Structure 1
């Protein structure tokens, strides 16, 4: 099979991002303690921050360790025959669809939620994850090459308001 597009991301990268988030959270916590003017509101905020911050830090650390050890691969592949996505974190976003069965891909934005949906000839709507840094322009170009009849968004980075 001739691959037209391939994107892979290991979970260790996500693990490193979680560790970075831990550092950012700690800096924000310390900034709140240092720079907020003394008041009753500050004391209430710090009371809750003293409870929530360690809990969130521990959760992020446990998840980072879990992903570091597991280290599975997110994979998105377009060949001349099939469009396949494997997401180790979510079975919902994992699928394999023949490209000749894809009718269109829609990018929509409603309030604070954006989605990318793919319609098939069986009238199924499959959501395409946005949680990874794959290049939608290259993905759509590969899908258009595999099946020129697919209706694709005019701009890979713009979402239609609904």
Structure 2
């Protein structure tokens, strides 16, 4: 199939990250208990923390178990003909597009939100997820190799203001 770029990530990796987040949350809660001096305000804070912290811990644990059991694969592939992304968590970010139809990839940032949008010759727009550790530099290089007419960001790390 002559792949120029391929990135894959199993959901078990994400599951492990969620478990680490559980440990970090518990550590932060215990540190707050130890270092925040007792006062009326801190008692009110801990009243809410005693409710919220276990709820968040349970949600993280359930999500980790779900991802561990499901263990699907996020996949991003560039071949000489197509650019394909499969995201098992979001069908919004799942697509397959002929590379010759890609016109531009634009990285924008506004306020507290950044996005990467791919535009095609047919006018379709596809968002590229930033939730995985794929190399945008290598991805853009592979796309440029197949279709040198694609307008790509000057730097894979810089986002322009929209």
Same-fold status (TM-score > 0.5):
yes
Q: Say which SS state the counterpart of residue 93 (structure 2) adopts.
A: coil
2:26 corresponding residue in structure 1: 26
| Deviation, structure 1 residue 91 | 0.2
Once residues 32 and 41 of structure 2 are traced to their aligned partners in structure 1, the CA distance between those partners, rounded to angstroms, is 12
1:8 corresponding residue in structure 2: 8
How many residue pairs end up in the alignment? 162
Once residues 74 and 104 of structure 1 are traced to their aligned partners in structure 2, the CA distance between those partners, rounded to angstroms, is 23
| Deviation, structure 1 residue 125 | 1.1
| Deviation, structure 1 residue 38 | 1.3
Once residues 45 and 133 of structure 2 are traced to their aligned partners in structure 1, the CA distance between those partners, rounded to angstroms, is 35
> Over the residues paired in the alignment, what is the CA RMSD in angstroms?
0.5
Q: Say which SS state the counterpart of residue 22 (structure 1) adopts.
A: helix
TM-score, scaled relative to structure 2? 0.99
TM-score, scaled relative to structure 1? 0.99
Once residues 39 and 125 of structure 1 are traced to their aligned partners in structure 2, the CA distance between those partners, rounded to angstroms, is 53
Once residues 147 and 40 of structure 1 are traced to their aligned partners in structure 2, the CA distance between those partners, rounded to angstroms, is 64
Q: Which runs of 4+ in 1 moved over 4 A?
A: none
Alignment of 1:93-132 (within 5 A): 93-132=93-132
